Amino acid sequence: MINKKTYKAYCLDLDGTIYRGKDAVEEAAEFVSRLQQQNIEPFFVTNNASMTQQQLKEKMTGFGITAKKERIISSAIAAAKYIKHWYPGKTVYMIGSEGLDQALRQEGLVRVEESADIVLIGLDRAITYDKLATACLEIRKGAVFLSTNKDLAFPSERGFLPANGAITKLVSASTGIEPVFIGKPEIHMLEAIQLELGFSKSEMVMIGDNYDTDIQAGIRFGIDTIHVNTGISSTATVLEKKEQPTFLIENLGYWKI
- For the chain, the first-to-last Cα distance in angstroms comes to 9
**Residues within the annotated binding site for substrate?**
184
The residue from 13, 101, 214, 224 that is catalytic is 13
The residue from 15, 101, 124, 214 that is catalytic is 15
The CA distance from 135 to 7, in Å, is: 42
- Phi, psi values for residue 158, rounded to 5°: -90, -15
Residue type, 98: E
In contact, 28 and 65? CB cutoff 8 Å: yes
- Reference 124, options 160, 156, 96, 166; nearest CA is 96
The CA distance from 84 to 86, in Å, is: 6
Question: What residues contact 221, with CB distance under 8 A and at least 6 apart?
Answer: 187, 190, 191, 201, 204, 206
- 207: Cα within 13 Å, side-chain hemisphere: 25
CA distances to 16, 17, 40, 75, 175 from 195, rounded to whole Å, are 27, 25, 18, 17, 35
**Residues within the annotated binding site?**
13, 15, 184, 209
Whether omega before 179 lies within 30 degrees of 0, making that bond cis, reads no
**Residues within the annotated binding site for Mg(2+)?**
13, 15, 209
- Reference 145, options 124, 173, 110, 103; nearest CA is 173
Is 23 a residue of the active site? no
Is 15 a residue of the active site? yes
Residue type, 256: K
The CA distance from 32 to 224, in Å, is: 18
Catalytic residues: 13, 15
